[in-house]
Amino acid sequence: MINQDRVTKGRVPGRSRIGWSALLTLFLAACAAQVQLPTEPVPPAPVTRVWPAPPARPRITLIREIQLPRDIRQERSAWKRIVEFLAGREPQPTLVRPYGLTVDRSERLLVADTGAQRVHILDLNSGVYKHLPHPKDDLRLFSPIDVQVDRAGRIYVSDSEARRVHIFSAEGRLEKSLTGFERPTGLALNTSLGQLLVVDTKGQQIHVFNTTGDRLFAFGRRGGGNGEFNFPTNICLDLRGNIYVTDSMNFRIQVFNPQGTFLTHFGKAGDGPGRFSKPRGIAVDSDGHVYVSDASFDNVQIFNAKGQILLYFGAPGIAPGEFYLPAGITIDATDRIFVADSYNHRIQVFQYLKPDLESEKISPGSSRSSRNQTGSSQSSEPRLDVSALSDTIGR
pLDDT for 219 equals 98
Per-residue pLDDT at 19: 56
Please write the tens of the pLDDT for every residue from 243-257. Answer: 999 999 999 999 999
10 Å CB burial of residue 355 (0-12, 13-18, 19+) is exposed
Can you give the pLDDT at residue 41?
A: 53
Q: What integer pLDDT is reported at residue 361 of this predicted model?
A: 66
pLDDT in the model for residue 7: 40
pLDDT digit string, tens, across residues 87-143:
555 578 999 999 999 999 999 999 999 999 999 999 999 999 999 999 999 999 999
Give me the mean pLDDT over the 306-313 stretch. 97
Give the chain's mean pLDDT. 83
pLDDT at 360: 63
Q: Is the pLDDT of residue 308 over 50?
A: yes
pLDDT at res. 21? 56
Average pLDDT of 360-378? Answer: 39
DSSP count for the chain of H helices, then E strands:
2, 27
Q: Which of 7-21, 154-168, 249-263, 327-341 has the lowest mean pLDDT?
A: 7-21
- Antiparallel, parallel or unpaired: β 336-341 and 326-331: antiparallel
Does residue 22 register a pLDDT over 70?
no
Q: Please check the confidence at residue 42 and state whether its pLDDT lies above 60.
A: no
pLDDT digits (tens, 9 = 90+) for 205-243: 999 999 999 999 999 999 999 999 999 999 999 999 999
pLDDT of residue 73: 79
Q: Is the confidence at residue 152, as pLDDT, over 50?
A: yes
Reduced to 3 states (helix: H, G, I; strand: E, B; else coil), residue 22 is helix
Taking residues 343-348, report their average pLDDT.
Answer: 98
Query: Cα separation of 104 and 115, whole Å?
Result: 23
Per residue in 268-286, pLDDT (tens digit) is 999 999 999 999 999 999 9
Out of 1-15, 59-73, 170-184, 290-304, pick the least confident.
1-15
Q: Which pLDDT score, from 0 to 100, does residue 125 have? A: 94
3-state secondary structure (DSSP) of residue 185: strand
Closest among 366, 363, 373 to 320, alpha carbons compared? 373
Sequence-ordered list of residues with C-beta below 8 angstroms from that of 361, at least 6 positions apart, any chain = 304, 308, 309, 310
Contacts of residue 312, defined as CB under 8 A and 6 or more positions apart, other chains included, come to: 51, 273, 297, 299, 300, 301, 302, 380, 382
Q: Per-residue confidence at 355, pLDDT binned at 50, 70, 90? A: confident
Give the mean pLDDT of 144-152.
97
